[in-house]
Structure 1
Amino acid sequence: MSQTDSTEESPVPADERVDVSVLVIGAGAAGARTAIELAERGVDDVLVLGKRGHGDAHTTWARGGINGALGTHDPEDSWAIHAADTLNEGHFVNDPDKVETVTEQMPDRLRELDEWGMDFSRTEDGEIDQRFFGAQSFRRTAFAGDHTGESMLTALVDRAQELEIPYRENVMITKLLSDGSQIYGAAGYDMDSGDLVLINAGTVVLAAGGYAAIYNRHTSRDDENNADGPALAYEAGAELMDMEFVQFHPTGMAVDEDDPEWEPWSGRLVTEAVRGEGGRLYNSDGERFMERYSPDQMELDARDVVARAIAKEVAEGRGTDNGGVYLDLSHKDSAFIQERLPRMYERFAELGVDMAEQAVEVAPTAHYGMGGVAVDSHGETSVDGLFAIGETMAGVHGANRLGGNSLAETVAFGVVAGERIADRVDGPGELPDSIVGSIAEPHFGDLQRLADRDGEYDVTAVFTGIQNLMWEHAGILRDADSLQTGLDKLAEFRRQATDLTVGPITSDSFEHAVDIGFMLTAAEAVLRGARKRTESRGAHHRTDYPETDGDWRRNIYYEMADVGRMRSYTDSVDSPSQEVQDALDEGHELDYHQLE
């Protein structure tokens, strides 16, 4: 990697230029695993960029577990049954090839993480322990207490440091440099110094998260999952896919938002592991209501099923004062809860609630975008040299993600993308003057004009306005009129976004102003796709089209048309391999009552 003063190399108003063969945008599990694969294959000209501090990525908030058919407790499990469960949960609009890529790899990926020092919970025999998770036929979710993501990222970062992989923190990428068919690099700024950064890169990997935080009630950390990755790819000429499928996790924290101690926790994830360890859901009448909705799988049915059940209980007047229901684990011993769910126990204890004695209040919350960037079997987009992996990509999860598959996807596709890039990498490439003049230079000018702008509209008001709009018009229950109203309102927010009052380039308001542009792209795709898909499937539920339509076993793609308009089209879904089809035909299903 080389760095030179931009005044010598380029006429753009950048303070710094970087030349690198492979740029990885995003320093969570997907980005780290890609960089590790590249380093292990001898590619040393790699730079990993994160917009937060080193090791501080959203991966750390993934608590429940990571899937892989190890068969620790259930030796009859297999990668093919794991794939079948994933397709079932995704309501068969997943890309079967991508599903099989993940599930075939995962036993090896789990053993690899173990070798790298991940702090897995263990059985009495010292094996990697595995727990039940919603909609899975067997116990295949490996875990580290209820801090799996944190422990996994620690292991990956330690491995990356052993390999001396270059990393840079607190840099936000705001534009990809592309002519629509090939990638040339990226532009952004140093969030600490405010310096503008120009990056020449022959290959770019987007591992920048998803878009669930375009909703006002979400499980993401503040200022993350605002659609950076999907929007950057779309603006560079790549297609998006399945954006209408947004998973609402059944159990986010339901709190009194007038209480300053509790308000910051609104919507934050109460991991599925609580239900995986036997947690029960009750309404305000004391009924264990999942008996009505899913008598066989109960609280461990698919996330969309449980989320809609909770929403219905609340809508029909059987919810708590804070708009939720009760999640109760008090029938378990305190020592068991503290061993298996230490972070959850500590969180609620600090708020004055003992999970061994009291139920906690939960309600659905936006958690994960199943859609994202359309990629091929190696994670590459239609733009040559531009890859998208992890939550930024689409295809693995279909209409609803199987719990424990998000962390699995990050490491599996990190390997796959790394393999492909290592076979092709050939230096930083040339950054054409035409790209500099037509894309980089105008973009840096836009960033400079955005800073310290005195406009009519407040950044926070527009930011939260978009989030409120999405919850109201593209939430758990949708219909055509509401979706169209959402699109109309979004057009007004798009207008307001051109006239914002913004602070200096190092301020939070500047970052949020950039985020608003990303959010507008993702929000439009979600609303348009949800209106176009005239059926209910998985996490997408249309009250005016409540049934699943076999003719809609198709993916919706989104592409940029002339003059910046978004255009969509559909394509059919492929069939799984014979081995996975056999597993589907066998009809494996969780016997929830093993937990009772």
Structure 2
Amino acid sequence: MNESNFNRRDFLKSACIGVGALSLSGCGDEIRRDADGEPIKNFGNENGLPSIDVLIIGSGGAGLRAAVAVRKKHPSLGVVVVNKGMPSRNATCMAEGGINGVIDFEHGDSHKLHAYDTVKGSDFLGDQDVIAKFVEKATEAIHELDYAGMPFSRKDGGDVAARFAGGAKFERCNYAADKTGHAMMHACLDEAISSGVKFLLDHYLLDLSTDGDTCEGVVLLNIRTGDVVPILAKAVVLASGGYTRLFFNRTSTPFNATGDGIAAALRAGLAFKDPEMLQFHPTGVRNGGALITEAARGLGGKLINNKGERFMSRYSKKMELAPRDIVSRSIETEIREGRGFGEGMGSYVLLDVTHLGEEKIMGGLPQIRHVAMLFENMDLVKEPVKIRPTAHYSMGGIDVVKFDDMSTEMPGLYAAGETSCASIHGANRLGGNSLTDAAVTGKLAGEGAGDYAASRAAFGSGKRASELAQKWQLRIKEIVSGSGEPNELYSLREEFGRQNWDNMGIFRTGEKLEALNETLKQIQARHAEMKIANPNLAFNTALIDYLELGNLILLARCACVGALNRKESRGAHTREDYPKRDDVNFLKHTLVRLNGDEPTISYKDVVITEFPVEERKY
């Protein structure tokens, strides 16, 4: 491409499929050309329905890496990425601290040490066979992103710069200032567009469609028009993000990450693995929970209580660089025992980086300086910032049965990133491993989906997809009857978030979880009877809010049941009534499926290979 003639807006526009052509009657055959000028097939018309070889739900790092992987390995396949909004609206671009992967092997670090840190960080709930493969793929991912043009920060010699992240023995968290996810997402987006990937924007996932036991495609809602659109695909990759938005009032998760892919998989009969394992990041800003990156502590940030003490010395030898679950519990303990500032939900401690100096802060932490000024009106160059833990990451997700291709138990369906659970993170994810997860699992899922699609001669019948679409059309017409109270939905959403935070937050008890379980059933029933006051289907954001809340309620019920039945404390799951880890009864994964509308539980053994289970000390 001639750089002097490059216009990114036109470049992106050329990648977006015209949504107006999509309807229940199909969209016909459309031939476009990829970045090399070769014709590729986008949407075809099979059995009277729009069809595509590989359909990817979600345009974050995992979805984009999956899309590129399909095109690189199978350039003749058509690939379409579906997103609720613009492709750059995702959780990946909000990740700040860095991306883990060993690229410096000359100073004592190794894949084995990265694997051990990840296993120990997971509180031994991570599957060790998967983790061993993950850390090797992590190194490949860093080099691939570097080669793709990701603007990493650099050492004096030009190598990618790295720093410490919580729970790590070596500096293996590679970074681009404190905007690593933003840099990664845009590098991946540019590579996807130039690879011939096409984007279908303003479309919302309603459900998966199956032909027998095989995934035949999806049913989408066209947000622009309100039309319900069934689409056939030879392979589908779910990469729609996690579900910590269920703590609606206090989370760093973007508003559009509402667990839609996981909820659709549950309704299709798949297992939701380890739903109770929800991570709280230690340092969200006091107001609302927007993220202050772990890199601030990696560079030497100090946590201070109302007595002026650097209190982490009471809880861990690694101080502020202990794993996230330990630091989060420590902060909340300081607040509960009266050593925090403020009261109630406004309570906080301080994160102090002033000693680093303006040059180091502006060079390595410019984004969080902006966040602190935006949300707290505080300049962290001059003063400590007010912080409190915030709901941040979902260790649980769709059960992946084979890490090598990120396949699920349903043929034709793949999962990647935070939507998936390949058991890399177990009960607690290490800082820096999330972007690595997106890059690694995204590529594996894309290659797996591409191989599967290339092996299939025909699409599904489309009968189930058409039936689902018709049911959704009737249901949506019922929801937007125009008879509802305008604020009822949002009041329910606020109540939902508060109940989850109070009863399934950092500290849990059986009594609280029992009460929450009943409350969530009532909230789900109220939601099911609710109507939307606006009957206009075009860009009906209240309808989207309603559908998203329904998915979050379903996932919260699964998480609550998993937490209630896990009678131990492990990683991010802290039961005050069962404070010890119980390896005899709970060294196993929770699997939740739906029996009708009710979550039911089974368990699956954790895979132990190289590292014996031991007491987790930092």
Per the normalisation by structure 2, the TM-score is 0.88
Q: Deviation per CA, 1:383-413, whole angstroms, max 9, x where unpaired?
A: 1111111000111110000111010011111
Tell me the residue number matched to 2:181: 149
Shift, 1:41, TM fit: 0.9
Which residue number corresponds to residue 216 of structure 1? Answer: 248
**Unpaired segments of 5 or more residues in structure 1?**
11-15, 256-265, 591-596
1:298 aligns with 2:330: no
User: Which residue pairs with 2:496 in the alignment?
Assistant: 466
Structure-2 residue corresponding to 1:594: none
Matched, 1:559 2:593: yes
- Matched residue SS, 2:574: coil
Deviations 1:271-292 (A, max 9, x none): 1010011000000110111011
Q: Secondary structure at the match of 1:178?
A: strand
CA distance in 2, matches of 1:46, 1:311: 46
CA, structure 1 residues 67+461, in 2 after alignment: closer, same or farther (shift >3 Å)? same
The correspondence for 1:326, drawn from 350, 353, 361, is 350
**Against the structure 1 CA distance between its residues 572 and 333, is the aligned structure 2 distance closer, same or farther, given a 3 Å change threshold?**
same
Conservation of the 8 A alpha-carbon contact between 1:534 and 1:542: yes
After superposition, where does 1:374-453 map in structure 2 within 5 Å? 374-376=399-401, 377=403, 378-394=405-421, 395-426=423-454, 429-432=458-461, 434-436=463-465, 438-453=467-482
Give the aligned CA root-mean-square deviation in angstroms.
2.3
Q: Secondary structure at the match of 1:200?
A: strand
Q: Please name the residue that 2:153 is paired with.
A: 121
Pick aligned residue for 1:312 from 333, 338, 342: 333
Distance 1:65 1:484 in 2: 38
Looking at structure 2, the residues matched to 475 and 382 of structure 1 have their Cα atoms a distance apart, in angstroms, of 31
For the residues of structure 2 that align with 1:379 and 1:499, how far apart are their CA atoms? 37
Classify the secondary structure of the residue corresponding to 2:356: coil
SS at match of 2:119: helix
Residues 163-218 of structure 1: CA deviation (Å, up to 9, x unaligned): 12111212111111125721111111222232322211121100000011100344
Contact 1:238 1:383 in 2 (8 A): yes
The question of whether the paired residues in 1 share the 8 Å contact of 2:230 and 2:466 is answered with no
- Return the alpha-carbon distance in structure 2 between the equivalents of residues 452 and 221 of structure 1: 31
Pairing of 1:224-243 with structure 2 (within 5 A): 224-243=256-275
Secondary structure of the 1:546 match is coil
Q: For residues 5 and 221 of structure 1, what CA distance do their matches in structure 2 show?
A: 32
Rounded to whole Å, the distance in 2 between the matches of 1:589 and 1:480 is 26
User: What are the ranges of 5 or more consecutive residues in structure 2 without an aligned counterpart?
Assistant: 1-16, 29-47
Structure 1 residue 222: deviation in Å?
A: 4.4
The question of whether the paired residues in 2 share the 8 Å contact of 1:201 and 1:428 is answered with no
Deviation at 1:448, TM superposition (A): 2.6
> Structure 1 counterpart of 2:275, which letter?
M
Q: 2:410 & 2:578 partners in 1: Cα distance?
A: 36
What is aligned with 1:538? 571
Tell me if 1:526 matches 2:556: no
Residue 559 of structure 2: SS of its match in structure 1? helix
2:301 alignment partner, one of 279, 292, 297: 279
**Aligned amino acid, residue 194 of structure 2:** E
Equivalent residues in 2 for 1:90-105, closer than 5 Å: 90-105=122-137
Per-residue CA deviation, residues 498-538 of structure 1 (Å, 9 max, x unaligned), is 22231333222111110122112110111000000000000
| Counterpart position of 1:356 | 381
The alpha carbon displacement at 1:59 in A equals 0.7
* Letter paired with 1:484: E
CA 4–141 in structure 1, closer or farther in 2 if over 3 Å, else same = closer
- Counterpart of 1:6? 24
2:52 and 2:79 in contact (8 A); partners too: yes
Match of 2:190 in 1: 158
In 2: Cα distance, 1:588 partner to 1:450 partner:
49
Q: Closer, same or farther in 2 for the Cα pair 1:341/1:228, shift >3 Å?
A: same
Residue 8 and residue 276 in structure 1: after superposition, are their counterparts in 2 closer, same or farther (change >3 A)?
A: closer
- Tell whether 2:84 aligns with 1:51: yes
Q: Following the alignment from structure 2 to structure 1, what is the Cα–Cα distance between the partners of residues 89 and 256?
A: 11
Structure 1 residue 346 displacement after superposition:
2.6
TM-score (norm 1): 0.91
Q: What secondary structure is seen at the aligned counterpart in 2 of 1:461? A: helix
The 8 Å contact of residues 56 and 63 in structure 2, kept in 1 or not, is answered as: yes
- Could you tell me how far apart the structure 2 residues matched to 1:509 and 1:186 are? 22
In the alignment, residue 62 of structure 1 is paired with which amino acid? A
Q: Give yes or no for contact 2:210–2:465 (8 Å, CA) kept in 1.
A: no
Hey, what's the Cα distance between the residues in 2 that align with 1:215 and 1:178? 31
Looking at structure 2, the residues matched to 58 and 468 of structure 1 have their Cα atoms a distance apart, in angstroms, of: 22
Check 1:9–1:327 CA distance in 2 against 1; reply closer, same or farther (3 A cut).
closer
- Asked if 1:343 is matched to 2:376, the reply is no
Query: CA 1:281–1:114 in 2, change beyond 3 Å: closer, same or farther?
Result: same
Letter in 2 for 1:85: D
SS at match of 1:443: helix
User: Mean alpha-carbon deviation: is it higher for 482-491 or for 220-229?
Assistant: 220-229
Distance apart, 1:229 and its partner CA: 1.8
Q: Whole-Å Cα distance in 1 between the matches of residues 617 and 140 of structure 2?
A: 24
> What are the residue-to-residue correspondences of 1:60-209 with 2, within 5 Å?
60-71=93-104, 75-178=107-210, 181-209=213-241
- The answer on 1:289 being equivalent to 2:289 is no
- Judge conservation of contact 2:69–2:447 (CA < 8 Å) in 1: yes
Whole-angstrom CA distance in 2 between matches of 1:433 and 1:216:
36
What is the identity percentage for the equivalent residue pairs of Structure 1 and Structure 2?
Answer: 32
Distance in 2 of aligned mates of 1:78 and 1:297:
20
Q: 2 CA distance for matches of 1:105 and 1:531?
A: 35
Matched, 1:573 2:591: no
Counterpart residue number, 2:43? none
Contact 1:206–1:387 (Cα < 8 Å) also in 2 = yes
Counterpart in 1 of 2:547? 514
1:108 partner amino acid: E
Moved more, 362-371 or 99-108: 99-108
Alignment CA distance shift 1:316-1:159 (3 Å): same
- Distance across 2 between alignment mates of 1:471 and 1:527: 12
Tell me the distance in 1 between the aligned counterparts of 2:334 and 2:589: 31
Give the counterpart letter for 1:555 in structure 2.
H
d(CA) in 1 for partners of 2:540 and 2:50?
24
Distance change in 2, residues 1:420/1:128 (3 Å): same
Report the secondary structure of 1:203's partner residue: strand
Give how far 1:495 is off. Answer: 1.0
Contact 2:232 2:462 in 1 (8 A): no
What is the Cα deviation at residue 428 of structure 1?
8.3
Write the distance in 2 (CA, Å) between the matches of 1:181 and 1:285. Answer: 61
Q: State the distance in 1 between where 2:616 and 2:562 align.
A: 32
Q: What CA distance in whole angstroms lies between the structure 2 residues aligned with 1:8 and 1:319? A: 59
* Letter of the 1:444 counterpart: Q
* Shift in alpha-carbon separation, 1:544–1:303, aligned structure 2, 3 A: same
Secondary structure at the aligned position of 1:108 is classed as helix
User: Counterparts of 1:556 and 1:6 in 2: how far apart (Å)?
Assistant: 39
